[in-house]
Amino acid sequence: MHNHPNNNAMIEMRGITKRFGQVTANENVDLTVYRGEILSVLGENGSGKTSLMNMLAGIYFPDAGHIFVEGREVVIRSPKDSFDLGIGMIHQHFKLVDVLTAAENIILGLPGAQVLDMKAVKADIQKLLDKYGFELDLNAKIYEMSVSQKQTVEIVKMLYRGAHILILDEPTAVLTPQETDKLFQVLRNMRAQGHSIIIITHKLNEVLSLSDRVAVLRKGQYVGTVDTKDATEMSLTEMMVGEKVVLDIERPDPVNPVMKIHMKDVTVVNKEGREVLSHATFKAYTGEILGIAGIAGSGQKELLEVISGLQKAVTGNIEYINRKGHIKELTKMSAEKIREIGIRLAFVPEDRLGMGLVASMGMTDNMMLRSYKMGKGIFSRRKEPHDLAERIKKDLGVVTPSIEWPVGRMSGGNVQKVLVGREIASSPQVLMVAYPVRGLDINSSYQIYHLLNEQKKQGSCVICVGEDLDVLLALCDRILVLADGKITGVVDARTATKEQIGLMMTNETKEVQA
Amino acid sequence: MSAPVKEPLFHVVKRDNAGLMRSVLVRVIAIVLALLVSAVVIVLLTGMNPLHVYAALWDGAVGTSRRAWITTRDAAILLCIGFAVMPAFRMRFWNIGAEGQVLVGAMATAAVMIYGKNLPAWALYTLCPAAGIAAGAIWGVIPAFFKAHWNTNETLFTLMLNYIATQLVAFGIIFWENPPGSNSVGLINAKGKIGWLPSIGKNSYLLPILIVVGLALILFVYMRYTKQGYEITVVGESENTAHYAAINVKRVIIRTMAICGGIGGIAGYLLAAGVGHTISTGLSGGRGFTAIVVAWLGKLNPFAMMVVAFGLVFMEKGALEIASQFNLNENASEILTGILLFFILGCEFFINYRLEFRKHNKEGVKA
């Protein structure tokens, strides 16, 4: 097996199978991690990466197979067993206590003296921080921290507990490029100290820049492991999806753009009274895709929600121009009112299962969210939603045992297809999507891009909040950049560069409107 | 590095979809086991033949046709109160105020019966239930209004309203005392039975039962096939999603609680005009809380709730018979009910999950 002798294996998984009811998450998967290496586990959504790792972390118990740690067969029955073996997993959703400080979270649950000597503890942790090059204020409370700082706390927590095998589940999904670089540097330092690191990801550039070897899963099956130096983006993609995919996104030119939404000086404040969107002014046109870029939490959510009537604007107004050129004032309208006067705004929110869909309902009932008021009388019509659900399942290739299967139990990509499919079905005049391909595999992503382009060609005004600048630059016509609630500029996506936008995302210098 | 090498004795695996046959079978086994365990307990505690005790239980609940009618009618009333909490629970609104909603419904009914003695019969038959429903609805809307507008805690609010309702009824009893000094209102309109729920033929039990069965059908259709029923489910699942779907959440909360309170009011009407023909502070007798058990054990399904309500009342009536026939105190039957509930609730686990045991032949295969 390559140039590593097998007795150097930190972890070996052999023939691991895990089923959830009739869904097979992992089938006969083998995986080996050596001492002092970074292994990427690569796979599309729903390929079983996370469930495989959860079996190492003691969250799931395998239905079949063997796990060896440093050559000895072990049984991991609980997260505690996993800790005892030196395995630490950093989940996508952090498990921290908000009101405690970083240091308190790190030592939480560890045995110790009745009276804590926090000074000594902090000194101890500080040594660890210096050793690996972390930047962290140990006295800061969790709720004051950025996502990347919280992630650092999670990693340090594991190291402080003596973990020498670290598993990170999509660690970069919520980080800015700079934060990602910093994280990678720390991970490399840890590798140099002899730690083994597994990162779950589906970003190919990260795999190539960081890891020593890549293990690829496809639909719960183990495809193979390759050395990163022998791999290319194309070869990995082929292993991952099993077939060649074209890597460019189409971008038709806008046809007769007409102004559809005109936002003037709109400010939105959150519950704490902080301005989360300040004095936003922009125009959106029919037949174009307007991209919205920005670091997570810069006001993207508020921008979309204030248009759809889910948030109130404290200043300014939002004008909607209908087909006849009449101006409708949306500012003071609730979502219900907007619907009543016949304006079809479609909205794919970031929180799919907590806002866009009802997790416990099947596809049909979720289709009804948009259409249950249709028709006269007290009864809701079920035939049309049922047909629509069937059509979306077929057209978008939604994988589900039945259209009555709760959407909360589908994989992320399928959930997104159900949501986008429903929103597009209403042939909207304005289509707003937030992170439409977050967590989606390559095939599904392209399907979504295609659907957005279809809407654009039909003359919809499409507004797309995204996080991958490459995608925004390839897909959109114009890109609006937000930084800390302010619009720092609108650029032409055909000529703008990534660096330019990156600068506008972090810097509040005003750019010339394109 | 001291991980256990042994596989755990068993681990829990979620079942995908237990078939109907299977879930029925598991429940039947649970009931049989409960009867067996109860039998052991009976023998150990009293030395009596458990079969005799079970026979008495059956006899007390449905042994004569009169008993069977009373048991069924009381089950219907309990079910009706269960319906007063069910839509609210579907909406995740913890209405524990059915007790109060029933009481004010009964009180309003009594008031109409007392003051409307001289009205024509048809007017009373309309006004009595209308007053009961209206009073119950108001009692339901008060906490809903505060919840919708200021997000007050509905559990505390509905609970407190129960006490106010009890005090109102206590006041009503003093106000309408009959005969004076009795500290009760006696049988209202005993002469001429004015405003009393009519008998069908000679059977005075049938009409309340039919009313509640009709209510069950209406609620089933309402929750499952109407726009309003759909709104209730969405609000219960996620308020965020409800806002997103342009559902007016405040309106749904208030409207649903008006319906719940109204149904509680119907139960109050049935009690005042159809069962006791009087009111007292103990009129509801804790059924507003038992109704919560009925709703959840029946998984908020009107027809499953029917079975549960009947089962609970059956046990209660049977228990009274055991108590008198064998000279046991009533707690003995509570023990039996407790054992039964334990097994019925416990068997849900085996319907939703299964245990996978350690494979004993593992070493053998390796060797």
Segment B315-341 mean pLDDT: 81
**What's the average model confidence in pLDDT over B146-157?**
94
Neighbours of A425 (CB within 10 A): 19
Q: Is A485 on the interface with B (CB under 8 A)?
A: no
Is B251 touching A (CB cutoff 8 A)?
no
- The C-alpha of B225 sits at a distance from chain A's nearest C-alpha, in angstroms, of 6
Helix, strand, or coil here: A201? strand
Q: Is A180 helix (H, G, I), strand (E, B) or coil?
A: helix
CB contact (8 A) between residue B17 and residue A84? no
CB B79 within 8 A of CB B294: yes
Pairing of strands A38-43, A213-218: parallel
Task: Give Cα A99 to chain centroid, integer Å.
Answer: 25
What's residue B222's pLDDT?
95
| In the predicted structure, residue B39 carries a pLDDT above the cut 70 | yes
Q: What is the pLDDT of residue B189?
A: 82
Return the pLDDT at A3.
Answer: 40
- Give one DSSP letter per residue of B261-313, joined into a string: HHHHHHHHHIIIIIISSS--TTSSTTHHHHHHHHHHHTTT-HHHHHHHHHHHH
The helix/strand/coil state of B34 is helix
Q: Give the chain A residue whose CA is nearest to the CA of B355.
A: A63
More confident residue, B353 or A124: A124
Task: Give rounded-to-5 percent helix, strand, coil for chain A.
Answer: 35, 25, 40
Per-residue pLDDT of chain A (514 residues; tens, 9 = 90+): 444 445 678 999 999 999 876 668 899 999 999 999 999 998 766 678 888 999 999 999 999 999 999 989 999 999 889 989 999 999 877 889 989 999 999 988 888 777 888 888 899 899 989 988 888 999 999 988 888 889 999 999 999 988 999 999 888 866 777 888 889 999 999 999 899 999 988 777 788 889 999 999 987 889 899 999 998 877 887 787 665 444 578 888 888 888 999 999 999 988 767 788 989 999 999 999 999 988 767 889 999 999 998 888 999 999 998 888 888 888 888 888 888 888 888 999 988 888 999 999 999 999 998 888 887 888 888 888 999 999 999 888 888 888 888 898 887 778 888 999 999 888 899 999 998 887 677 777 888 898 899 999 999 999 999 877 778 888 999 999 998 788 989 999 888 877 677 677 765 444 444 4
Q: What is the 3-state secondary structure (H, E, C) of A416-466?
A: HHHHHHHHHHCCCCEEEEECCCCCCCHHHHHHHHHHHHHHHHCCCEEEEEC
What is the per-residue pLDDT for A511?
42
Distance from CA of A414 to the nearest CA of B (A): 18
Distance CA B258, CA B265 (A): 10
Considering only CA atoms, which of A422, A423, A441 is closest in space to residue A363? A422
DSSP tag of A401: S
- Give the phi and the psi of residue A315 in degrees, each rounded to 5: -135, 165
Residue B48 has pLDDT above 90, yes or no: no
CA atoms within 13 A on the CB side of B277: 15
Q: Determine the Cα–Cα distance for residues A74 and B5; give it in Å rounded to an integer.
A: 5
- Which residues face A444 on adjacent strands? none
Q: Is A356 on the interface with B (CB under 8 A)?
A: yes
Residue B3 has pLDDT above 60, yes or no: no
Instruction: Report DSSP letters for A256-305, one per residue.
Output: S--EEEEEEEEEEE-TTS-EEEEEEEEEEETTEEEEEE-STTSSHHHHHH
Mutation choice for B interface testing from A20, A380, A383, A418 by most B CBs within 10 A: A380
Please answer yes or no on whether B3 and A69 come within 8 Å at the CB atom: yes
Q: What is the DSSP letter of A232?
A: -
Whether chain A has a CB inside 8 Å of the CB on B225: the answer is yes
Q: How confident is the model at residue B364 (pLDDT cuts 50, 70, 90)?
A: very low
If you average pLDDT over each of A318-327, B265-274, B342-351, which comes out highest? B265-274
The beta-carbon neighbor of B244 closest among A61, A349, A361 is A349
Mark yes or no for CB contact B5/A74 under 8 Å.
yes
- CA R_g for chain B: 24
Map tokens 């089962």 to a residue.
Answer: B311
Looking at beta carbons, which residues of chain B come within 8 Å of A311?
Answer: none
> What is the distance in angstroms between the Cα of A57 and the nearest Cα belonging to chain B?
13
CB pair distance less than 8 Å for B227 and A356: no
**Chain B residues touching residue A380 (CB < 8 angstroms):** 225-227, 229-230
Q: Are B328 and B98 in contact (CB under 8 A)?
A: no
User: Which residue of chain B comes nearest to A409, CA vs CA?
Assistant: B16
pLDDT given for residue A172 in this prediction: 81
Mutate to test the interface with B, among A378, A382, A384, A407 (most CBs of B within 10 A): A378
Domain range A6-241, CATH architecture: 3-Layer(aba) Sandwich (3.40)
- Spatial neighbors of B352 by CB under 8 A, at least 6 apart, are B14, B15, B18
CA distance B229 to chain A (A): 9
Question: Domain spans of chain A?
Answer: 6-241, 259-344+427-506, 355-412
The string of pLDDT tens digits covering residues A227-236 is: 999 988 778 8
Among partner residues A309, A354, A358, which is closest to B234 by beta-carbon distance?
A358
Q: Which helix (H) or strand (E) holds B108?
A: helix B98-115
B244, closest residue in chain A (CA to CA) = A355
- CATH superfamily membership of A259-344+427-506: P-loop containing nucleotide triphosphate hydrolases (3.40.50.300)
Determine contact, residues B286/B114, Cβ cutoff 8 Å: no
Which tokens go with A208? 């190539």
Q: Does A20 touch chain B (CB under 8 A)?
A: yes
- A355–B240: do the CB atoms touch at under 8 Å? yes
Of A61, A77, A310, the CB nearest to B244: A310
Q: Are residues A210 and A184 in contact, defined by beta-carbon separation less than 8 angstroms?
A: yes
- pLDDT, residue B233, reads 95
Cβ distance A433 to A420 under 8 Å? yes
Judged by a CB distance cut-off of 8 A, whether residue A100 touches chain B is no
Segment B70-92 mean pLDDT:
95
Residue of B nearest to A379 (CA): B226
CA pair distance A347, A214, nearest whole angstrom: 37
Question: CATH number of the domain at B70-313, please?
Answer: 1.10.3470.10
Domain edges within chain B: 11-48+326-367, 70-313
Task: State whether residue B6 sits within 8 Å of chain A by CB.
Answer: yes
Residue B29 in contact with residue A113, Cβ under 8 Å?
no
Chain B nearest-CA distance from A503, in A, is: 34
Cis amide bond preceding B179, omega within 30: yes
Chain A contact for B352, CB < 8 A? no
Name beta bridge partners: A346: A431
For residue A70, the chain B residues in CB contact (below 8 A) are 1
User: What digits encode the pLDDT tens for the residues B109-137?
Assistant: 999 999 988 888 888 899 999 999 999 99
Taking alpha carbons only, the member of B164, B156, B176, B169 closest to residue B139 is: B164
Q: What pLDDT is stored for residue A271 in this prediction? A: 75
Q: Considering only alpha carbons, which residue of chain A is nearest residue B228?
A: A378
The residue in chain B having the minimum alpha-carbon distance to the alpha carbon of residue A81 is B3
Instruction: Read off the DSSP letter of residue A379.
Output: B
Q: B70 exposed, middle or buried (CB, 10 Å; 0-12, 13-18, 19+)?
A: middle
In chain A, which residues have their Cβ closer than 8 Å to the Cβ of B238?
354-355, 358-359
